[in-house]
């Protein structure tokens, strides 16, 4: 059985999902791939992991760096899990490009190159937004592209982390606008 709860953030309502013990989803309501990993049968319920996640989100939205991470459960392909593992390592207030992640994955897999577009697909399907910080990924040309929650939310999250978003640009055409 899966369970859900909601959190009202300063930039929009968030839906959380759990297997009963671990956080398995965290989406801005209405975002691209919303509730992608959530089964059709789920129950709204207060759980300790949701209370922990709400505490984490409260700290984050107050501009603090949470010193803990709720227990996470991720299920996907080995490639996506590898990309999400890299996302988890991006420090608060720092950014990385899709190309840099592709290079890291290529090295780990012992191959010469990896597609930045394939990385983008994995980043876009990250089921635990904010905590697994896919908003910290930008295009190699400085483009603020590709956030499933929408570029307005990506900019807000980076601003909370004191990233100077003025040095980046919003593409005229791109993904997850």
- Per residue in 78-130, pLDDT (tens digit) is 999 999 999 999 999 999 999 999 999 999 989 998 999 999 999 999 999 99
Q: What is the pLDDT of residue 166?
A: 92
State residue 177's pLDDT score.
41
Of the listed 26, 122, 128, 134, which one is catalytic? Answer: 134
User: What is the distance between the alpha carbons of residues 169 and 48, in angstroms, rounded to a whole number?
Assistant: 40
* Span 34-56, average pLDDT: 91
The predicted structure's pLDDT at residue 28: 95
H or E element, residue 73: none
Q: How confident is the model at residue 148, as a pLDDT? A: 87
Element (H, E) at 84: helix 78-88
- Helix (H) / strand (E) element for 3: namely strand 2-9
CB 117 within 8 A of CB 81: no
Q: Helices 78-88 & 116-124, crossing angle to 10 degrees?
A: 80
- Tell me what the pLDDT averaged over the chain comes to: 93
Give me the helices (H) in 110-162, please. Answer: 116-124, 151-160
CB 135 within 8 A of CB 154: yes
β-strands 12-18, 23-28 pairing: antiparallel
Closest to 175 measured CA to CA, from 152, 153, 148, 154:
148
CA separation for the pair 64, 75 (Å, rounded): 29
Task: Decide if 116 contacts 106 (C-beta within 8 A).
Answer: no
CA count, 13 A, side-chain hemisphere, 69: 12
- 176 falls in which pLDDT band (50, 70, 90)? very low
CA gap 126, 154 in Å, rounded = 14
Could you confirm whether 35 is annotated as catalytic?
Answer: no
């Amino acid at each position: 059985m899966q369970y859900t709860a909601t959190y009202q953030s300063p930039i929009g309502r968030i839906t959380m999902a759990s297997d009963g013990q671990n956080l398995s989803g965290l989406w801005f309501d209405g975002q691209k791939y919303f509730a992608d990993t959530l089964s059709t049968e789920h129950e709204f319920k207060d759980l300790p992991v949701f209370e922990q996640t709400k505490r984490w989100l409260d700290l984050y939205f107050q501009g603090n760096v949470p010193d803990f991470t709720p227990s996470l459960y991720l299920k996907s392909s080995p490639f996506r899990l590898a990309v999400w593992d890299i996302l988890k390592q991006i420090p608060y207030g720092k950014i990385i490009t899709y190309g840099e992640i592709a290079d890291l994955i290529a090295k780990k897999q012992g191959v010469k190159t990896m597609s930045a577009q394939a990385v983008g697909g994995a980043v876009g399907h990250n089921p635990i937004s904010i905590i697994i910080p896919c908003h910290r990924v930008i295009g190699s040309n400085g483009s603020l592209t590709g956030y499933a929650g929408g570029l307005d939310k990506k900019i807000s999250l980076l601003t909370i982390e004191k990233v100077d978003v003025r040095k980046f640009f919003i593409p005229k055409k791109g993904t997850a606008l």
